[in-house]
Structures are given as C-alpha cells and as structure tokens.
Amino acid sequence: MIKHRGPDSRGQWISSDHKVALGHVRLAINDLSPDGAQPFHDEEDTVHAVVNGELYDSDSLRTSLIRNTNHPFKGHSDCEIVIALYKYYGLSFLSKLRGEFALCIYDARTQTFIAARDRYGIKPLFYTFIENKLLVAAEAKAFLPLGWEPEWDVASLKEAGWNHDARTIFKGVRKVRPGHYVVCQSFDSTESRSYWDIEYPLKSQSDPRSNKEMIEGVRSQMLEAIRIRLRADVPVGVYLSGGIDSSVIAGMVTHLVREQGERMGNDNEAERVSCFSIAFDEDSGFDESAIANRTADFLGVKYYKKHMNEAELAARFEDATWHCEHHNPDLNYVGKYALSEVPQRLGFKVVLTGEGADEQFGGYPMYLPDYLREQDLAYPSNPLPEEIRKAQCTKTDEENRAYYKSIGADGSDRGQSLPRRMLNNIATVSSMAAFSPDTLFADWTKCYGTCDPQLTIANSVDGRVRDKIMSKWHPLHSALYIWQKGHLSNIFLSCLGDRTEMAHSIEARTPFLDHHLTDYVNALPPSVKIRWDSEEQGFTEKWILREASKPFITDELYERKKHVGMLLWQCSSAG
C-alpha cells in the first residue's frame, strides 16, 4: 500500500520469502518521533502493517491490549494499535476501530494479506492485478511505476459503476468498498468481505422517546464525536462555510475549547480556534462568506479566507483533476482544492469538516419525495397530516423532475422501472442517475449493450439489504442508504474530501461520520430529520440537527431554514 504524498518520512518493508512489499509515505499527525514511522512490525517480525488515517479511542484500546496481551508498543501513534488488535482479535479487529482509515496487514505466519477501508469510505483504497501481482494503493496513479497501463473502463463509465459499485473509471482497477476488506490467503484467491453496514430500525416500530430526549442525544453524540477529533500532535483547525453543518462544528469546537478545556491539537492557547473558508465574487450567486464572517464574529474565532474567481478556479482545474482521478458534475472540487491551500499555508495539518451531515439528517432535496412516500409510523406525534403527505409526495417528485431538466440533467426517467421496483420505488435512485444520460456517449459504445445507471445502483445493493428496503425500512432511510453507498463515498468524500485535502498534506476529520453518532441518528424517526412546519406550510430539513446545535450557532443560521413547498432545496456540498 502506498499512501498519499506527504512531507515527513518514508518507509518500506519487503519480505525475503514471498515477495510481499509494504510502502508508506507518512503525514505525521500523532507521535511525530521516529517511533511513529511506518510500516509497523510485531516483536517477532511476522506481522506487518501500514495505516492511512486516524484511529480514535486508541489510548483506551492500548491500555486494554497491554493488560490482556502485554504487547510491547514502540511509540504512542494511534495507528500502532492495529497489529496488536489483529493478533488478539483476528479479522474481528476491524469492528474495534473508530475513525477514518485505510490499512494493509500482512501476516507471514498464515500468509494472509488484508486490505481494509473505513465504514464510510472516507479514506480511499484501490487494488488491481499486474502480471499475477496484487497491487494495493491509495491512488490509482501509484500503480504506474509498477507496470500498470491505464485504460478506460467504458462499461463502468456508461453504467456509472465507478460511482455505485466496486469499479473505477479504469479497467481492471477496483476499489475496496466502504466497510469492507479484501483478503488474499496463501498468495492465491482474493475475496472482498463486509465487516460493517448501515442499519435502520423497523419502520413500523414506534419510537417512545420525547423530542427533548432525542435532541439531547444528538447533541451529546456530536460533542463526543468532535471532542475525540481534536487530539493531535500538530495544529487543528476547522473549515467554515456559510452553511449550518460546518458552523455547528465550529460552534461546538469553540464550546469544548473554552468551556471544557479541550485543546486544539498541540495548541497551547485555550482561546484560539482557527477557521478557514473561501469567498467568491458577490455577483456569482455562490458566495456565503458574509454569513461565515458573522458566524466567526459570533464565536470569536480566528477566521482566514481565500478569495476565488473564475481565473483562480481555472488556474487550479488541471491539478485538482489530476489528484481526483475521475470526472465531476461541477467545479466544487476545484474550490475544495483551493480551500485546502489555506490551512497548509498557515501551518495546519488537520481540519474538521462538515461532510456527511446531509446524508445523516436528510438535508438534500431529492430525499423529500421518499420521506413522503409512506407514513412515518415510528413518530406518533408527527404533525404532518395524511392528505398533505400524499399531495406533497406527487408534487415534490414533479418539482424534482423539472429541476433536473432545468439544469440540463436527465429528469425524464423517474417513473416505474425495474430498478425502482427493486428498491421499493424510491425516487432518489432516479435523482442519482440524472447526471449519467446515455446520450453523452458515442455510437460505438453501444457494443457494451444497454447501460442503465439506475440498474447499476439497484444491483450494487446486497440482497439482504434489498429485502429490508422492500419491507422493513422507511423509504427515507432507504434513500439515505443508497446515497451514502454511492455519491457520498465516491464523489463527496473523494473529490470534496480526501483527494483535494491530501493533495496539500491536510488530513480532514469528519465528525458527522463517526459511526457511534450515525448509529444513534439512524435510529431516529424520519420525521425528526425532515419536519413539516404547519405555520410555514413547508418542510425543514435537518430539523433535529438544528435543535441540537441551537446553543452553538447564530440565530441567523438556526432560523435559516430551507422550506420546501413550492421550491426545492439547492444541493450544497459546502457544509
């Protein structure tokens, strides 16, 4: 496994008996001493590992492992616990990990090689076979010096397999899927297995908790997810946009630092919180820096922003695309690439970011028809009248169709179809395929047969999960599941996440994707995620997140609710 390029140290290990090589380029975050250098090796020099990312709760795991195994740790790097966990728990060690990671382990005793990726796919991991060799890396371009010759996977491009299953845009290059590991035994067969998946409660099961209890539960889980992500031996900052997601994180970070004495990485100044943003021309329609400015003033934090215009975006287009390794439907990734320059220039190596909130709390417009598709039986006090639910379900689906048509996407294929029938008729699957029209491709590509991105999405879902979608989960939760398995991991966490951040040696941490938090949020009723406002006669997205974060954000952000009646939400990846 070859990590992203970083400035700090290099390491490699090559076995003499079976020609297994592990390479690592380190971005030092915890334990900056040589003891934190990788690859890691056990005391017998038989188990070896490289780890990309961060593992939280490592101190408590380390204490437990020392007590149970007397494992001799060399340093205090969080990633060093991987070998001890593997030797004690075997392949079950993955369930013990909390954080953002991609890792490889080679066990010479059993000739077992393991390549694993975190639960939501925050960190990338790819593999391919060249001349009967298994190659694993954090970027496809790492295969180039090892004999790989890139070739487009045309079927994957036409079917959107690169975005919804294990394929990439390159023929023969596959990704380790989120929550999965690839295992190669005795240098023979290679198999991909799941170790974790997203779960939701039965849609018919009533939730007895009060609003107050659920709000306080979300708040407590959020504060803990953020608190554990402040630990580092380098400076830690926060990305701050004009949206609620990043503002919640900035507000909670400020609370933890000032009220509870938490440190921002190795920063000794108790009052210092640094936030970073980009600004666009005021007439662009995309600039939210004025709101971010007011949030920064409200919190009393240090606020740094970079001004962007058309020329600045154009100047970074080529480099951003090179790092992302796949196409994008817009230029958001170039903006994120530019944003990552700001903390790098100021000497920061870690930032907290707001990705994942919309996927957990129902923040995107295409979710609304699926929220309305069935009653929310889990929430007895639901204020949404049944006659309004039925009328709005049809209305919002039509509005979605019109919206996609207005921006040049395919809004026509939204009716009954085989993929929709496989997924309980959720409309989100149609929205996800709107940017993959078959008309984009040349006539010669017809040799690949009928290519239906919606069918790719439906077929990529495990059969056991499809059974839950059909009969056990509320359609909103089914929509959230499908979106997270596709767009979240393969676009938002890639080109709006790790790829553009690590291009500048910046490690981003995503509190909204802490699996302890998401397990709690997943179990909440759909109607506390999307809420009917009887006074405004519209819907408020991420209602319970707004309520949980109210003490930490401005009134402007709390009241800046995107009501959806006649109008659609604007999709935003800014957080």
pLDDT in tens, 229-281: 999 999 999 999 988 999 999 999 999 999 998 988 887 665 679 999 998 87
Q: Are 342 and 306 in contact (CB under 8 A)?
A: yes
Examine residue 164 and state whether it is found in any structural domain, yes or no. no
**Statement to judge: residues 298 and 376 lie in one domain:** no
Q: Does residue 461 have a pLDDT over 60?
A: yes
Model pLDDT, residue 7:
36
Q: Does residue 537 have a pLDDT over 90?
A: no
Model pLDDT, residue 1:
40
Examine residue 146 and state whether it is found in any structural domain, yes or no. no
**Statement to judge: residues 411 and 377 lie in one domain:** yes
Least confident of 198-207, 229-238, 278-287, 545-554: 278-287
**Statement to judge: residues 188 and 233 lie in one domain:** no
Beta-strand runs (E) in 125-268: 126-130, 133-137, 174-175, 180-185, 190-194, 236-239
Least confident of 22-26, 110-114, 139-143, 155-159: 22-26
pLDDT band (50, 70, 90) for residue 294: very high
Model pLDDT, residue 20:
80
Share of the chain above pLDDT 70, in %: 92
Examine residue 437 and state whether it is found in any structural domain, yes or no. yes
**Statement to judge: residues 510 and 373 lie in one domain:** no
pLDDT in tens, 203-212: 999 999 999 9
**Statement to judge: residues 444 and 401 lie in one domain:** yes
pLDDT in tens, 152-167: 999 999 999 999 999 9
Q: Does residue 174 have a pLDDT over 70?
A: yes
Alpha-carbon distance of 93 to 69, in angstroms, equals 14
Examine residue 4 and state whether it is found in any structural domain, yes or no. no
Examine residue 166 and state whether it is found in any structural domain, yes or no. no
Return the structure tokens found at 269: 């100044």
CATH code at 284? Answer: 3.40.50.620
CATH code at 181? Answer: 3.60.20.10
Examine residue 381 and state whether it is found in any structural domain, yes or no. yes
Model pLDDT, residue 17:
55
The DSSP letter of residue 170 is: B
**Statement to judge: residues 183 and 112 lie in one domain:** yes
Tell me the average pLDDT across 534-546: 91
Alpha-carbon distance of 479 to 362, in angstroms, equals 9
Alpha-carbon distance of 559 to 430, in angstroms, equals 31
Number of structural domains (the chain) is 3
Alpha-carbon distance of 80 to 86, in angstroms, equals 11
**Statement to judge: residues 75 and 49 lie in one domain:** yes
Q: Are 298 and 554 in contact (CB under 8 A)?
A: yes
Please identify, among 136, 163, 194, the residue that sits at the C-terminal boundary of a domain. Answer: 194
Residue 307 Cα distances to 250, 280, 304, 339, 464, angstroms: 20, 6, 10, 10, 48
Determine the structural domain holding residue 240 and report its residue range. Answer: 211-360+487-534+548-559
Model pLDDT, residue 11:
63
State the sign of the Cα–Cα–Cα–Cα dihedral 283, 285, 290, 296: negative
Alpha-carbon distance of 351 to 260, in angstroms, equals 20
Alpha helices in 407-522 (DSSP H): 418-422, 428-432, 453-460, 463-471, 475-483, 499-502, 515-522
**Statement to judge: residues 324 and 229 lie in one domain:** yes
- DSSP, collapsed to helix, strand or coil, labels residue 425 as coil
Q: Does residue 546 have a pLDDT over 90?
A: yes
The CA angle 261-264-265, to the nearest 5 degrees, is 120
pLDDT band (50, 70, 90) for residue 568: very low
Residue type, 179: G
**Statement to judge: residues 356 and 380 lie in one domain:** no
Examine residue 131 and state whether it is found in any structural domain, yes or no. no
pLDDT band (50, 70, 90) for residue 561: low
**Statement to judge: residues 425 and 403 lie in one domain:** yes
Examine residue 324 and state whether it is found in any structural domain, yes or no. yes
Least confident of 193-202, 322-331, 561-570: 561-570
Alpha-carbon distance of 348 to 295, in angstroms, equals 21
Please name the residues in contact with 556: beta carbons below 8 A apart, sequence gap of 6 or more.
Answer: 291, 294
Q: Does residue 4 have a pLDDT over 70?
A: no
The DSSP letter of residue 503 is: T
pLDDT band (50, 70, 90) for residue 19: confident
Encode 165-196: b = buried (16+ Cβ within 10 Å), e = exposed: bbbbbbebbbbbbbbbbbbbeeeeeeeeeebb
pLDDT band (50, 70, 90) for residue 569: very low
**Statement to judge: residues 13 and 88 lie in one domain:** yes
**Statement to judge: residues 327 and 232 lie in one domain:** yes
Alpha-carbon distance of 188 to 518, in angstroms, equals 37
pLDDT band (50, 70, 90) for residue 13: low
pLDDT band (50, 70, 90) for residue 570: very low
Model pLDDT, residue 269:
62
Model pLDDT, residue 457:
96
Share of the chain above pLDDT 90, in %: 68
